[in-house]
């Protein structure tokens, strides 16, 4: 009997169709770049049991025709020359990705910086990445109408004259990775801000700069990147402006005898994977009349918080997307990390205010890359490894203001490593260290299927979304036919 298709096997099958299409168009470099980009987008969005794409890496590294031969305008080259060049695929007004670039520029203010946007397709505001009163040149390549090959040429030219290059790129940025392969003399640091997904660039002769030790461990075990080629700096956190706690609580209708539990993350980070979610433990907790739950980043009808709203009317506040939830943080008594996928920056920003933090972390050994950590605290003081323990920890914090106060002191002290001065020192130490990146050894085998892969497959998207729009994927007729036939047979 044939085994039933899983989300992982379906994703792997679609990747295979893309890889074969890339090979068929080996003499069309522009189309090859586009296909590799979409291949990586699928691997990023729909976990296929791999964190690397060896065939795509080989094509980006070895193909000699991926860069256009057009001359790069001299004024753009001069704008980058001698500067630390921050390369973003795309910048955003909200989220943790873009502000990290801005913080880097602001905190390392004793050296010149420049910014290049590879694929900015939404309106862009320079204030998202350029600190106030700083003269930082920024280059919007997409806005110039460049082809992908031209982007590779522009970027390779910039990398060659910059003092150093920091890649803050998306996992599917084929152009930036192809340019980095063509810049053997450049000092390149690949910022691993998406350490839980597949991305292009694992084979680069670059320093893999992780934001936590868990990123380094996974890079070594599942990406084939030697630990000696990795550096670590903490996530930088800037304390928000001071706000009055009582005013904030009044704005949200939180009574003086109520305990407010706050959680902040993108909606998908709370989506159930099988029976795994926060629904049941929070349902138990919310039976207490003195507890309210505030969820930022999630709207009405969520599969976890929708049922909680129905079961506990008036005590579950789904606030939707809030660009700057400062008042929400100030009003909270306890912060709960998202589950089954963490929101590291959100948790740290609340810990920096002294708010006690709690995280649900079952099967920690296998799933640690999905979870946040507070290394200044023993794990048993913030991490619950089963649902009963999670409820007990939250109940204890609700019942004991003195316990919350004790944890607040530990958090304020421990978070100093993430604050501006300590972060600046950590980055300078990293940049001063002379790395000799080891040759890449692709994992053998690159595809696996364990508990982590099953969880990631459940958290991330289903490849059927791509299969349902086969005509829009950029595949040739053969590839489209393969997708349609596999979809009709239930194999995609």
**393 and 303 housed in the same domain:** yes
Specify the number of domains making up the chain. Answer: 3
Q: Do residues 306 and 395 share a domain?
A: yes
What is the spatial distance between Cα 87 and Cα 100, in angstroms, rounded to a whole number?
Answer: 12
* 391 and 455 belong to one structural domain: no
Q: Do 219 and 251 fall into the same domain? A: no
Q: Tell me whether residue 63 is in a domain.
A: no
The rounded distance, in Å, linking the Cα atoms of 46 and 369 is: 17
**CA separation for the pair 373, 350 (Å, rounded):** 13
Tell me if 16 is assigned to some domain.
yes
* 344 lies in some domain: yes
Residues 218 and 325 in one domain: no
Residues 91 and 216 in one domain: yes
Do 379 and 404 sit in the same domain of this protein? yes
Integer Cα distance of 29 and 32 in angstroms: 5
Domain membership flag for residue 60: no
Residue 440 in domain: no
195 lies in a domain? yes
Report the C-alpha gap between 50 and 450 in whole angstroms.
11
- With respect to residue 2, please indicate whether it lies within any of the assigned structural domains: no
Pair (149, 216) in one structural domain: yes
Cis status, amide bond into 445, omega within 30 of 0: yes
Residue 66 lies in a domain: no
3-class secondary structure, 11: helix
Same domain? For 393 and 451 the reply is no
What is the residue range of 24's domain? 7-50+446-488
* Tokens matching residue 485: 């036939």
Residue 377 per-residue DSSP state: S
Strands (E) across 219-351 are located at 230-232, 259-264, 291-296, 316-318, 334-336
- Whether residue 380 sits in one domain with residue 250: yes
- In angstroms, rounded to a whole number, what is the distance separating the alpha carbons of residues 32 and 436? 31
Residues 453 and 400 in one domain: no
Residues 249 and 230 grouped into a single domain: no
Of 49, 52, 53, nearest to 450 by C-alpha is 49
Farthest CA pair distance, the chain = 70
Q: Write out the chain's pLDDT in tens, 492 residues.
A: 345 689 999 999 999 999 999 999 999 999 999 999 999 999 999 999 999 999 999 999 999 999 998 789 999 999 999 999 999 999 998 777 898 999 899 989 889 999 999 999 999 999 999 998 899 999 999 999 999 999 999 999 999 999 999 999 999 999 999 999 999 999 999 999 999 999 999 999 999 999 999 999 999 999 999 999 999 999 888 887 778 999 999 999 999 999 999 999 999 999 999 999 999 999 999 999 999 999 999 998 999 999 999 999 999 999 999 988 999 999 999 999 999 999 998 999 999 999 999 999 999 999 999 999 998 999 999 999 999 999 999 999 999 999 999 999 999 999 999 999 999 999 999 999 999 888 899 998 889 999 999 999 999 999 999 999 999 999 999 999 999 999 999 999
Tokens of 295: 């969820």
- Report the CATH number at residue 187: 3.40.50.2000
């Amino acid at each position: 009997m044939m085994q039933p298709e899983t989300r992982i096997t379906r994703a792997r099958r679609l990747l295979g169709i893309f890889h074969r299409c890339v090979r068929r168009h080996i003499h069309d470099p522009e189309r090859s770049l586009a296909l590799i980009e979409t291949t990586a987008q699928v691997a990023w969005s729909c976990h296929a049991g791999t964190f690397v794409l060896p065939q795509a890496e080989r094509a980006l590294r070895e193909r000699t025709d991926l860069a256009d031969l057009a001359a790069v305008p001299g004024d753009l080259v001069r704008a980058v020359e001698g500067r630390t060049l921050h390369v973003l695929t795309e910048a955003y007004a909200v989220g943790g990705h873009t502000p990290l670039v801005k913080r880097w520029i602001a905190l390392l203010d004793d050296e010149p910086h420049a910014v290049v946007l590879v694929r900015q397709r939404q309106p862009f505001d320079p204030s998202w990445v350029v600190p106030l009163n700083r003269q930082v040149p920024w280059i919007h390549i997409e806005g110039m109408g460049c082809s992908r090959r031209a982007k590779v040429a522009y970027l390779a030219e910039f990398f060659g004259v910059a003092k150093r290059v920091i890649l803050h790129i998306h996992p599917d940025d084929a152009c930036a990775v192809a340019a980095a392969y063509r810049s053997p003399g450049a000092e390149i640091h690949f910022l691993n801000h998406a350490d839980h997904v597949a991305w292009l660039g694992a084979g680069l002769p670059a320093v893999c700069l992780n934001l936590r030790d868990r990123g380094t461990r996974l890079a070594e075990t599942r990406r084939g990147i030697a630990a000696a080629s990795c550096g670590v700096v903490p996530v930088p956190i800037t304390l928000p402006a001071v706000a009055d706690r009582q005013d904030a609580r009044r704005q949200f209708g939180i009574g003086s005898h109520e305990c407010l539990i706050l959680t902040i993350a993108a909606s998908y980070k709370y989506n159930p994977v099988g029976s795994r979610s926060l629904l049941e433990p929070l349902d138990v907790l919310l039976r207490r009349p003195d507890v309210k739950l505030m969820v930022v980043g999630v709207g009405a009808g969520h599969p976890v918080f929708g049922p909680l709203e129905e079961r506990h009317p008036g005590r579950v506040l789904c606030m939707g997307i809030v660009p700057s939830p400062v008042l929400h943080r100030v009003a909270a008594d306890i912060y709960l990390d998202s589950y089954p996928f963490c929101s590291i920056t959100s948790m740290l920003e609340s810990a920096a205010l002294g708010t006690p933090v709690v995280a649900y972390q079952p099967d920690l050994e296998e799933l640690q890359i999905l979870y946040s950590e507070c290394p200044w605290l023993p794990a048993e003081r913030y991490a619950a490894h089963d649902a009963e323990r999670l409820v007990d920890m939250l109940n204890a914090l609700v019942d004991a203001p003195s316990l919350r106060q004790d944890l607040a002191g530990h958090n304020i002290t421990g978070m100093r490593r993430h604050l501006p001065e300590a972060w600046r020192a950590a980055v300078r130490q990293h940049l001063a260290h002379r790395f000799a990146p080891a040759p890449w050894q692709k994992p053998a085998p690159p595809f696996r299927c364990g508990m982590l892969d099953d969880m990631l497959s459940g958290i991330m998207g289903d490849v059927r979304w791509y299969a349902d729009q086969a005509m829009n994927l950029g595949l040739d007729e053969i590839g489209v036919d393969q997708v349609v036939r596999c979809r009709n047979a239930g194999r995609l």
